[in-house]
Structure 1
């Protein structure tokens, strides 16, 4: 069944993901998400009695994610804005980056959505690489993009974040919004506290990221809130070859240590 879009027939109707469930047409109208229902304790006290059962669903998501991703080869997670249009220069950068990572022997993992995520998945897939998308239930429609080879949809952000970290050798952040910033600083915290090791974090796009980098250096570092070695965890670049080199060197160092 098709839907009309700008006067033309759209073979892929709008959809919303709810964990592994796909909702289309009138079934998309549910406004709340599983995360919201878990975290929002306002209203009746029924949640007190239902939260213990939610643990089973959370456990099931971990089991499903671990099972689906266990055989993914060495991979790099790339974050970026879902709002990046296909005609934007950053989309082509993402596509080229995905292709370069595939040619270097890495799978790519993204949030599986549109924009920069789609670009990276597309570039990887077109280069013959392994393209992974980890989707999340949102209050608005967002299905996995068509260039995802292996897709897993999650209800809970914290489960999804675990998968990003566990199955990646590096993070590369293309220009993005709050979601990208959230993943960026979580990764930095895990590396800083040595929860994960040999894990480079690359900020791709100097014009976009320079202000943030300078703030960390001039305010956070100067204020004594982080050390010099913490600032060194960030690698700022505009060059795809340089980004891939950083990933390869860190992965080789990790391999040598194991």
Structure 2
């Protein structure tokens, strides 16, 4: 016998009929503490966790002011040349009036946070849950640890006005090319992307020009999105120059818009 399709239950926006009708209501399952905890690992529940991470991140970072994101390896040890370079850059960024944001871990992230902290400026860390233990470093004033890489990346990109990339591995390369892609495609304002370490990054920059550009896989001006230097002071100059040019363009656009509005008013 065919089961009647008239048997129906509404559960919020969902409609269940026949055999699909659950044995209990949503409220019953919410209030009943018995049974397995597998439900907290389902995709609908993950959506809420993702939402909560965005809310926490936006809430924490919304008032930090101008910021520069520093990427780099977690494996570089203190008292090494790259670590000292990271400290110097963190210090310069802080003294220039910017908040330093890093991935919150050890190595060059710690170095940049340390430089900012000792210079008396804000030091922020955006950590990530990993299979191996890694806590936020001790030089962070404000920090949050995310479950999801894509939420963390959004925070880096939304709240930074420049990206400074110290030597690093796959994670650093991922962050570097994410930033370049978003700048290239206009998804974020053309903030500077600065590679620090000519010996380390020089081969990559040459490869981009000699292969990607030569094969027509990127536009002629795309390599100019990347700056390469060894000098912490030059890092700050690049950032200041880029922001001054951006401010000038925004001011010119505002003046032009005002002029058009006045012209339209006169014609009316």
Q: When the two structures are superposed, what TM-score results if normalisation uses the length of structure 2?
A: 0.77
1:196 aligned to 2:179? no
What's the Cα RMSD here?
1.3
1-structure distance, mates of 2:125, 2:85 = 18
Higher helix share: 2
Query: Matched residue of 1:226: which SS?
Result: coil
Secondary structure of the residue aligned to 2:104 is coil
Aligned mates of 1:255, 1:141 — CA distance in 2: 42
* Cα offset, 1:252, TM superposition: 2.5
Equivalent residue number for residue 82 of structure 1: 74
Structure 2 unaligned runs (5+)? Answer: 1-37, 252-268
Partner of 2:163: 171
Q: Render the CA deviation track for 1:155-210: whole Å, top value 9, x for unaligned.
A: 00000000000000010000000011000001111011100113110000000000
1:221 is matched with 213
Pairing partner for 2:142 from 150, 154, 162: 150
What is the CA distance between 1:53 and its match in structure 2? 1.8
Q: Choose which of 44, 52, 56 in structure 1 pairs with 2:44.
A: 52
Q: 1:70 aligns with which of 62, 72, 75?
A: 62
**3-state DSSP of counterpart to 1:141:** coil
Give how far 1:236 is off. Answer: 0.5
Q: 1:183 aligns with which of 175, 178, 183?
A: 175
Q: Which residue of 2 aligns with 1:237?
A: 229
- TM-score when normalising by structure 1: 0.80
* Aligned counterpart, 1:110: 102
- Which structure has the larger Rg? 2
- Can you list the C-alpha shifts for 1:48-70, whole angstroms capped at 9, x where unaligned? x9212211110110000000111
Q: Secondary structure of 1:202's partner?
A: strand
Please give the alpha-carbon distance, in whole angstroms, between the structure 2 residues aligned to 1:225 and 1:145: 39
Secondary structure of the residue aligned to 1:228 is: coil
Q: How many residues align?
A: 212
Q: Distance in 1 between matches of 2:243 and 2:46?
A: 37
